[in-house]
Amino acid sequence: AEVLLELEDLRTHFFLKEGVVRSVDGVSLTVPAGKTVCVVGESGCGKSVTARSILGLVDPPGRVVDGKIWWRRTADPERRDRRGRGVPADQNGDGRIDLSTLGPRSDTLRDIRGNDIAMVFQEPMASMSPMYTVAQHIVEAIRLHRRVSRSQAREEAVELLRRVGIPRPEVRLDAYPFQMSGGMCQRVMIAIALACNPRLLIADEPTTALDVTTQARILELLRRLQADNGMAMLFITHDLGVVAEIADEVVVMYLGTVVEQGPVDDIFHRPRHPYTKALLASIPAMGRGSRQRMASIRGQVPHPLNRPSGCPFHPRCDSAIPGLCDVKDPAFVTVDSTRVRCVLHDPESMASANAGASGG
Ligand code: SF4
Ligand code: MG
């Protein structure tokens, strides 16, 4: 499939008094049209900052310091921004635009945000204003990007609520966020996200705050919507159970970097990176009636200001090779259809390690 979004060595750093936190430190990934790419990792690994960087939603003292965020635009001569002006199709004539070059207040970025790329977050309630009804939220979202009358937007809103599985949408339209459950609020947020038919939905832990049953229903909804619209998703989660449900491709992050990426089947059945293996081993055993406590990966995620030298995972890695892993930052190696960043999979590094061990 055509690549919609491509991150090329993205780096987003936070400049604190205490030092520089390299939250995202060289992330490359692609999202093909119509596919779901899951970014998975423990909290603090930089997955949310990666997502927010795409849409220029990183607040100071954080900023994108390096890398490219290539977005493939649709050339739609009919399209008008909210001031009625035609929207530029691309920057370089190749149909792509580097979002990292646009300022946060750029009209082009504002146009892309909502029209082309929509986002849903973990806390649906916090994303809505308690002062406005569901109708006001959705009508506003529609009219921000398209020139339609209020009554027409309201009709579209009813249809959108129906699509996201909200019963009696005509009545729900006049509800306030606090009158709805978390699951209903998240459906409304998804309806808002869908209002402009985005080609990419970025979902940052959209089901994490919900109970297990509601979580399953929302995932089911997202899958169905995706099948209907052919929309792509960049799905951020710490939960490998969710990844198994929804991903086509998986990107495993650790300490601001990607350690392994590949098709979901390979990641689950043939994981190569010791961190991916440890994450998989920490999934609670299924089918035992009670939810088991997750086994956790030994050691702690290092403090962000105190990154380890060499491979970022070496202090917690059972396979670490002293004198190599603590010194050398591993390069990416392609193994079958996955990319993995670990010396164990890099013949060159292993050859030099063996040579070192045998005294040569
Ligand atoms: Fe473990 Fe070394 Fe591989 Fe890092 S490079 S994951 S420390 S074996
Ligand atoms: Mg997060």
Name the percent of the chain lying above pLDDT 90. 59
Q: Which ligand is nearest to the CA of 342?
A: 1
DSSP state of 301: P
Q: Which tokens hold the place of 19?
A: 């030092």
Q: Which tokens hold the place of 75?
A: 């050339």
Task: For the beta carbon of residue 101, count every other beta carbon within 10 angstroms.
Answer: 13
Q: Over the stretch 99-128, which tens digit does the pLDDT of each residue have?
A: 999 987 888 888 888 789 999 988 877 788
309 lines ligand 1 (CB under 6 A): no
Q: Which ligand is nearest to the CA of 203?
A: 2
252 lines ligand 1 (CB under 6 A): no
| 186 vs 37: CA distance, rounded Å | 20
313 lines ligand 1 (CB under 6 A): yes
User: Is the confidence at residue 281, as pLDDT, over 60?
Assistant: yes
Q: Over the stretch 199-230, which tens digit does the pLDDT of each residue have?
A: 999 999 998 888 888 888 899 999 998 988 88
Nearest Cα neighbor of 346 from 272, 276, 278, 264 is: 272
Q: Whose CA is nearest to atom 8 of ligand 1?
A: 320
Residue 172 Cα to ligand 2 middle (Å):
30
CA quadruple 177, 181, 186, 188: dihedral positive or negative?
negative
242 lines ligand 1 (CB under 6 A): no
| 93 vs 91: CA distance, rounded Å | 6
Residue 206 Cα to ligand 2 middle (Å):
10
Q: Over the stretch 310-332, which tens digit does the pLDDT of each residue have?
A: 999 999 999 999 999 999 999 99
> Cis bond leading into 177, ω under 30°?
no
Global ipTM: 0.96
The residue whose CB lies within 8 Å of the most ligand 1 atoms, and thus the one to mutate among 297, 317, 327, 332, is: 317
Minimum-distance ligand 1 atom for the alpha carbon of 314: 7
pLDDT for residue 4 = 95
320 lines ligand 1 (CB under 6 A): yes
| 94 vs 209: CA distance, rounded Å | 40
| 307 vs 304: CA distance, rounded Å | 6
Cβ-proximal residues to 165 (8 Å cutoff; 6+ apart), any chain: 187, 217, 221
Give the total residue count for the chain.
360
Strand pairing class (257-263; 338-340): antiparallel
pLDDT for residue 287 = 43
**Adjacent-strand bridge partners of 232:** 200
What does pTM read for this prediction?
A: 0.90
314 lines ligand 1 (CB under 6 A): yes
Q: Over the stretch 301-314, which tens digit does the pLDDT of each residue have?
A: 888 888 899 999 99
Question: At which residue do the structure tokens 């970022």 appear?
Answer: 312
Calculate the average pLDDT of the chain: 88
User: Is the confidence at residue 87, as pLDDT, over 60?
Assistant: no
Q: Over the stretch 244-258, which tens digit does the pLDDT of each residue have?
A: 999 999 999 999 999
DSSP assignment of 166-222 equals -SSHHHHTT--GGGS-HHHHHHHHHHHHHTT--SEEEEESTTTTS-HHHHHHHHHHH
